[in-house]
Chains A and B, each alone.
Chain A
Amino acid sequence: MCLAIPAKILKIEDNLAQVDMAGVKRQADIRMVSNVRVGEYILIHAGFAIEKIGEKDAEETLQLLREII
């Protein structure tokens, strides 16, 4: 139930954002994430953005995953 899906912000109006969630356009409440901008990615859980996804952090994670020790 704690499923949250990454979505790209298309438009912001006050506390609501239009997002692209796996190709589907939806509306998300963004009051819990501060300083988000169009083009950035947020995690959506039950219609609310619960956090911004750090792009650099994601890249860094992928680098760690690819690491061969």
Chain B
Amino acid sequence: MKFVDEFRDRAIAERIVKKIKRFDSLKVNLMEVCGTHTMVIFKQGLKGMLPKNVNLLSGPGCPVCVTSQEDIDKTIELAKDENVIIATFGDMVRVPGTNSSLEKERGNGADVRIIYSPSEALRIARENPARRVVFLAIGFETTSPLIAASLLDVQKEKIDNFYIFSSHKLIPPAMEALLESKEVRIDGFICPGHVSVTIGSNAYKFIAQKYNVPCVIGGFEPLDVLQSIYMLLKQIKEKRTEVEIEYFRAVHPQGNRIAQELIDEVFEVSDVMWRGLGTIPKSGLRLKRKFSDFDAEKEFPTKTRKSKENPDCACGEVLRGVKKPTQCKLYRKICTPEEPYGPCMVSSEGTCAAYYKYG
């Protein structure tokens, strides 16, 4: 496949690794923020190719994983309404809430449908005019413009049985929260390629300038990731702190303006709760007041119950890069992809699932 195969060349990968090995005097922690990067790193065996002085940490870039327990519980409550059809991306279904999961509710008769694109959620709404469709809108800046576009279509078509449960989150505030906490030393960020398609490299400038941490926006093929690591090491060695774009075949400094305008039209920035990171100011997106008719939380106020995470699940620490999955007492012993206790083991791009499958 074009733009894929040529970026997987083994011989070139080995040459980049050789260049990486020249920085053997640097002992660094580099964080890949994006869950899709985590998957590539594990699936393609990149961790094993790197020298010991380069330690990769996985960050809070798996949308399902960072969704708060309270939000998970709310979606489960919504699913119990027999007039509601839940439309969701796949991984959300198996995340254990405090007492149940969407999958369990489906077993009890709830109508939970897994979709690939928000346009499928619209189709479900059109085909079921007597029922109400709630779309679980999770995801970062890559996904929120699509959801905004779909909602504008709903408005235009006057579909009156479609609602959004918005749990959208923004990546740069989470990176800043990690740096502010000083819990882990981060010497460089591999910034998420497809989030950056939307927000552009300029969005990370404050990280490089205020916190003196180099950033490289990387693509998702093995050569892209290795080259991003090389570029970060080069910046560190040369004592530069800049935002560089390795993935410039798709990412531009100013990002995708049309996508940004779609977000701005429909959403506004809000403080939001992240699993593992707590409430981060201005790190979420909620529907603007003029779209409140489509807001599932307003339309279906759920009973507030005390949400609780499993106290033994280390997902929160894993998301902050503080713990490796192997340091969690549930990992592999009782928490497995077949029977996950936390979202990091559920999601295909969760760090625990990546460790389990490829670690």
User: Is the Cβ of A22 less than 8 Å from the Cβ of B197?
Assistant: no
Residue positions of A touching B, CB distance < 8 A: 1-4, 6, 8, 22-23, 29, 31-34, 41, 43, 45-48, 50-55, 57-58, 60-62, 64-66, 68-69
Interface of A is mostly: mixed
* Partner of A58 from B3, B16, B256 at Cβ < 8 Å: B3
User: Is the Cβ of B140 less than 8 Å from the Cβ of A32?
Assistant: no
User: Is the Cβ of A46 less than 8 Å from the Cβ of B118?
Assistant: yes
User: Is the Cβ of B2 less than 8 Å from the Cβ of A1?
Assistant: no
Q: Complex Cα distance A58/B258, Å? A: 23
* Partner of A1 from B139, B145, B246 at Cβ < 8 Å: B139
Q: Complex Cα distance A60/B6, Å? A: 12
* Partner of B146 from A23, A45, A57, A65 at Cβ < 8 Å: A45
In the complex, chain A residues whose CB is within 8 Å of the CB of B116: 46-47
Q: Complex Cα distance A17/B12, Å? A: 34
Q: Complex Cα distance A39/B24, Å? A: 44
User: Is the Cβ of A65 less than 8 Å from the Cβ of B223?
Assistant: yes
Confirm or deny: B259 has a beta carbon within 8 angstroms of a beta carbon on chain A. yes
User: Is the Cβ of B142 less than 8 Å from the Cβ of A4?
Assistant: yes
* Partner of B3 from A1, A6, A60 at Cβ < 8 Å: A6
* Partner of B256 from A47, A51, A57 at Cβ < 8 Å: A51
Q: Nearest residue in A to B153 (C-beta to C-beta)?
A: A29
**Given the interface contacts A34-B258, A45-B194, does A2 sit within 8 Å of B139 by beta carbon?**
yes
User: Is the Cβ of B258 less than 8 Å from the Cβ of A45?
Assistant: no
Interface residues of B in 114-158 (CB under 8 A from A): 116-120, 138-140, 142-143, 145-146, 149
Q: Nearest-CB distance from B237 to chain A (Å)?
A: 13
Q: Complex Cα distance A39/B298, Å? A: 45
In the complex, chain B residues whose CB is within 8 Å of the CB of A52: 250
Confirm or deny: B89 has a beta carbon within 8 angstroms of a beta carbon on chain A. yes
For the A-B complex with A4-B197, A6-B3, A54-B249 known, give 9 more contacts whose Cβ atoms are closer than 8 Å: A1-B64, A1-B89, A1-B143, A2-B61, A2-B194, A3-B194, A41-B3, A48-B117, A53-B250
In the complex, chain A residues whose CB is within 8 Å of the CB of B195: 2
* Partner of A41 from B2, B16, B63, B247 at Cβ < 8 Å: B2
Q: Nearest-CB distance from A52 to chain B (Å)?
A: 8
In the complex, chain B residues whose CB is within 8 Å of the CB of A34: 258
In the complex, chain A residues whose CB is within 8 Å of the CB of B250: 43, 51-54, 57
Q: Complex Cα distance A45/B349, Å? A: 16
Confirm or deny: B227 has a beta carbon within 8 angstroms of a beta carbon on chain A. yes
Interface residues of B in 183-236 (CB under 8 A from A): 192-195, 197-198, 219-220, 223-224, 227
Q: Complex Cα distance A55/B3, Å? A: 9
Q: Complex Cα distance A48/B16, Å? A: 33
Q: Nearest residue in A to B92 (C-beta to C-beta)?
A: A1
User: Is the Cβ of B15 less than 8 Å from the Cβ of A50?
Assistant: no
Q: Complex Cα distance A58/B193, Å? A: 14
Closest 9 CB pairs between A and B? A47-B117, A57-B249, A2-B142, A6-B3, A2-B194, A58-B249, A48-B146, A51-B197, A46-B117
Interface residues of B in 70-97 (CB under 8 A from A): 89, 91
User: Is the Cβ of A3 less than 8 Å from the Cβ of B36?
Assistant: yes
**Given the interface contacts A32-B262, A61-B248, does A45 sit within 8 Å of B118 by beta carbon?**
no
In the complex, chain A residues whose CB is within 8 Å of the CB of B219: 61
In the complex, chain A residues whose CB is within 8 Å of the CB of B193: 2
**Given the interface contacts A1-B36, A46-B118, A50-B198, does A32 sit within 8 Å of B192 by beta carbon?**
no
User: Is the Cβ of A50 less than 8 Å from the Cβ of B194?
Assistant: yes
